[in-house]
Amino acid sequence: MITFVAVPDAVRANGFRIFDQGASATGQGSAFSAQADDASAVYYNPAGMTQLRGVQFSGGMLFLGGSTSFKAPSGASVTGGFGDSVAYPPPVNLYVTANLKDLGIRALGDTTLGLAVISPFGIQNGYPANGPFATATTYVAVEILDFKPTVAYKLNDQLSFGAGLDIYTFVPFIGQGQAENIFNSAGGPGQPPAGSRIEINGRDTAVGFNFSTMYTPLRNEDGKPLLNVGFVYRSSTALNLQGQFLSNGKATANASTNFVLPESYTLGVAYWPLRDRDREWKLEIDLDYTGWQNFRNNNVTLSTGSTISAPRHWQNATTLMLGTEHKWLHVDELPDWEIAARAGYWYAETPVPDATFNPSLPNANSNSMTLGFGFMCKGQGHFLGFIDCSPSSEQGFGPKAVGVDLAYRAIFYETRTVTGNQAPLALPGVVNGTYNTTLHVGSLNLRVNF
């Protein structure tokens, strides 16, 4: 049993984090913490918001597909995934930033405010109710939203700082509005009769924080960075999930568990070998370290006085991300447009040991490759052929630039053979076997700069 929460069988780098929070970053293998030059900086590196002018908006979503195939030592096999071609509801991201000095508010110096609504953790995965995993998991879903009020301050041309809150919660209009796991009873001691449909669910709200820096030791003659070093710390946060234990749709007990979201440290270095008024070429390397050691268990306490033991004992894990972007600022065939081509790669370690592996999270070490493109309309250009990208002052307030970013990611998980596992409440040995997982991610963002 995966108790309350498992992890997205989608876009996870290690454990159940979702790294894809903006198409420009996804196209570069998520190596973006040292670039962070669009509104998604609120997530990737809040200190980078000081690079943004005026008011900037970005909104997007992920399109997730893929599957996990399993073969047991007995020869039994099953395939699991999203149930449809893509996960629904899709994870979303919304960002807005405001440079206060550009808005005429100078009392606070070089201060930029930001707000984001993102899905940094989540899951949607399922297996047939009559398959080999029936007593371990048949369906698991969780849609956690993170509201991120954020502030950044530019100390000087070399150094900026950012800080903010992470307000994690569930909302009724996104998915189930709670974390839930469904499986069939194995009929063991204290369990409902064998074959009964069991559901465990819960929800909570908790607050964490983040802190970041951006160091720029080298700029070109136009003042644009040639070398950036970015650092981001995100705190650990514990959700005390409160919900119900249901048997065949009837609540038989209240249930609770403590679910820990991990802390993480990200260090990135971005270098522009070429950056002039016509073209820009960036190379970046990021290293993320996620502290999963505090994810010890998901023990469920029932109001009947009993406890369902669900050990985890995860290990810390790192993710290496490499990315590049080549941008054309003046294209003869498309005047008033900027075009960007992007590519990236990551290697991610799994924090999940064999002993506590669960098919709801068929995690393994993974390799990922990405491609992406960006199109930004400025000046006299027209977005979609009819939207003025930069209206004249006579037309009143309007955008200064309108753009779209697209990205594709393929994640290839190493074949994993699990032995010596006993999932809580499941029939003995049902999780042991060989797993192969491949995931596909499409990312789309619309950006508007005012």
Residue 276 counted as domain residue: yes
Distance of alpha carbon 181 from alpha carbon 259, whole angstroms: 14
Residue 312 counted as domain residue: yes
- What is the pLDDT at residue 380? 81
Q: Tell me how far CA of residue 229 lies from CA of 34, 142, 266, 284, 328, in angstroms.
A: 5, 34, 11, 10, 24
The answer to whether the peptide bond before residue 73 is cis (omega within 30 degrees of 0) is no
Q: Once rounded to an integer, what is the mean pLDDT over residues 374-393?
A: 78
Q: Which residue has the tokens 């990208």?
A: 389
CA nearest 131: which of 63, 202, 74?
74
Which residues lie below 8 Å from residue 60, measured CB to CB, with a gap of 6+? 22, 23, 92, 93, 405, 443, 444, 445, 446
**pTM exceeds cut of 0.95:** no
Contact 50, 42 (CB under 8 A): no
- What is the pLDDT at residue 79? 78
How many residues appear in the chain?
450
Three-state DSSP class for residue 261: strand
- What is the pLDDT at residue 230? 98
Residue 14 counted as domain residue: no
Contact 62, 11 (CB under 8 A): yes
Task: Please state which of the ranges 1-5, 103-107, 123-127 shows the lowest mean pLDDT.
Answer: 1-5
Q: How many CA atoms are closer than 13 Å to the CA of 321, on its beta-carbon side?
A: 33
Q: Once rounded to an integer, what is the mean pLDDT over residues 221-245?
A: 95
Residue 384 counted as domain residue: yes
Distance of alpha carbon 122 from alpha carbon 104, whole angstroms: 39
Residue 435 counted as domain residue: yes
- What is the pLDDT at residue 296? 83
Kindly report, residue by residue over 30-39, the tens digit of the pLDDT.
999 999 999 9
Domain enclosing residue 319, as ranges = 23-449
66: pLDDT confidence band, cut at 50, 70 and 90? confident
- What is the pLDDT at residue 328? 96
431: pLDDT confidence band, cut at 50, 70 and 90? confident
- CATH number where 422 lies: 2.40.160.60
Residue 5 counted as domain residue: no
Question: For the chain, what percent of residues have pLDDT higher than 90?
Answer: 54
Residue 91 counted as domain residue: yes
Count the domains in the chain: 1
Structure tokens at 116: 């984001």
Structure tokens at 136: 């371990």
Helices then strands, counting H and E runs in the chain, come out as 2, 24
Q: Once rounded to an integer, what is the mean pLDDT over residues 69-73?
A: 86
Q: Which residue has the tokens 């190493």?
A: 414
- What is the pLDDT at residue 81? 59
Residue 204 counted as domain residue: yes
